[in-house]
Amino acid sequence: MSIPQAKMELRPLGNTGLKVSSIGFGASPLGSVFGPVAEVDAVATVREAFRQGINFFDTSPYYGGTLSEKMLGKGLKALQVPRSDYIVATKCGRYEEGFDFSAERVTKSIDESLERLQLDYVDILHCHDIEFGSLDQIVSETIPALQKLKQEGKTRFIGITGLPLSIFTYVLDRVPPGTVDVILSYCHYGVNDSTLVDLIPYLKGKGVGVISASPLAMGLLTEQGGPEWHPASPELKSACKAAAAHCKSKGKKITKLALQYSLANKEISSVLVGMSSVSQVEENVAAVKELEDLGMDQETLSEVEAILEPVKNQTWPSGVDQK
């Protein structure tokens, strides 16, 4: 059975040979992380994303205490398409019960993940939020364990994720070239913070693919604003609120503008966006299509950038409650 797929721009991911959709499906909301999601809705959302040309799905055992992986697995299985038609990334080292980057735990972790996902292999296995572990352990123990899993065919490629950009250079400077295939950065390539761009030449030089998540800065760039626990400073929160209100006053949506800003940089292979309903998929895909056909709304973008200028590139310390 084949599902007729809409055309979506595919971008090469570093030296992996994978071609990922410019927008990636962030599956953390399928773990009911932001409110309950019924299984039937999770399956329908995955199906609609695939139908619209999204071929890249990202999850973690940490999201919803393993529920995200289970829901994504059910959604992918229900597609009944060849395994090579979609690309799946999951993570290891971060769990509901805490962090454990030991070789023993991550080796067990992939088997648990594959069972929940109902897959024989994942395309990418990331070490999840490595700034909470010992980076030297990541280099000397975790990544070698992942290389073994790669040789065993349980993952095709290896990645690392986290908030502070310094973790990527720390690890990549200490592992043999070609050991880490991909990095996943979040909250550092959006209208309010584009510091990831400074790292791209370095990453390209290492042949490492770049995935960026959270183009809405964990909810700051939305009309309702970020969650109560958001670690951003009051100045950053209020500037983002003002930017959202400005867009609304012009009949525009800051979410669409923010997503398009992130998508417009072709050096970033995929922008991950959390989705848990068919309507969210449709809205996100419409933003991609509009960007391809009409380009950015430069006028509103420059007005928003002016509002955010005083807080540009302001980040926050990595906190355990995030993501």
Active-site residues, by number, are 63
| Contact present, 223 and 257 (Cβ < 8 Å) | no
User: Which of helix, strand or coil describes residue 235?
Assistant: helix
| Contact present, 56 and 24 (Cβ < 8 Å) | yes
Pairing assessment for the beta strands 87-92 and 56-58 based on DSSP bridges: parallel
78: part of which helix (H) or strand (E)? helix 67-79
Per the structure block, which two tokens stand in for 306?
């002016």
**Gyration radius of the chain's alpha carbons:** 19
How far apart are alpha carbons 283 and 256 in whole angstroms?
Answer: 8
Per the structure block, which two tokens stand in for 38?
């019924």
Burial class (CB in 10 A: 0-12, 13-18, 19+), 16: buried
Residues 6+ apart with CB under 8 A from 267: 197, 200, 204, 210
| Locus of tokens 């800003």 | 261
How far apart are alpha carbons 68 and 59 in whole angstroms?
Answer: 7
Per the structure block, which two tokens stand in for 161?
């994720």
| Contact present, 66 and 20 (Cβ < 8 Å) | no
| Contact present, 243 and 304 (Cβ < 8 Å) | yes
Closest Cα to residue 117, out of 87, 159, 143? 87
Per the structure block, which two tokens stand in for 8?
């979506």
Closest Cα to residue 256, out of 293, 221, 292, 224? 221
